[in-house]
Amino acid sequence: MLTLVVGVGNPWRGDDAAGLEVAERVRARAGDVAVETLEGDASALVHLWAGHDDVALVDAASSGAPPGTLHELRNGDGTLQAAALRSSTHAFGVADAVGLAAALGRLPERLQIYAIEGGNFSLGAPLSPTVARTVDALANRLVERRPTAGMRRTTDVRRPRL
């Protein structure tokens, strides 16, 4: 039963905000699931999902697939490719955080990673219409996976603005 949704991305880079947008939509629709957002170094994920058994992580992807394509990845199934995920412009991204958590024995029991293929990562661009449709559909799907009761906890880990 889904207990945490983590949205990862950059709100200033067009389709890179897809993960953040999914998280905000789930937050607005499901008060009984924890929602976290991350705009910085993905190593913080190890801390964010601590204590949660069933985690959905949403990020943007840039694999060459058509924009709006939803990639579904599970930790340990060999499909998590660091180059395709857009979570960080730094060296440490989502795939690295998953590897670190696995090495430390700190992975959630179930970690489902959803990567929404973006098409426009330009500074200041809005979500493209195709990506926005996938964001809405995935948010609805995650809301349907939530428990019927529980506590809502929200924390934002934001990159400092320059």
Overall number of domains in the chain: 1
Q: Is 42 helix (H, G, I), strand (E, B) or coil?
A: helix
Within a domain: 159: no
Please check whether residue 51 lies inside any domain of the structure. yes
38 within 8 A of 8, measured Cβ to Cβ: yes
Asked if residue 143 is part of any domain, the answer here is: yes
Domain-located, residue 158: no
Tens digits of pLDDT across the chain (162 residues): 788 999 999 999 999 999 999 999 999 998 888 999 999 888 899 999 999 999 999 999 998 999 999 999 876 555 555 545 655 444 578 888 888 898 999 999 999 999 999 999 999 999 999 999 999 999 999 999 876 534 444 444 444 444
Domain hosting residue 67, numbered range: 4-153
Quick check: is 53 in a domain?
yes
CATH at 110: 3.40.50.1450
- pTM (two decimals): 0.83
Residue 90 placed within a domain: yes
Q: What are phi and psi of 25, to 5 degrees?
A: -70, -40
Answer yes or no: is 117 within a domain.
yes
In-domain check, residue 84: yes
Dump pLDDT digits (tens) for 95-105.
888 888 989 99
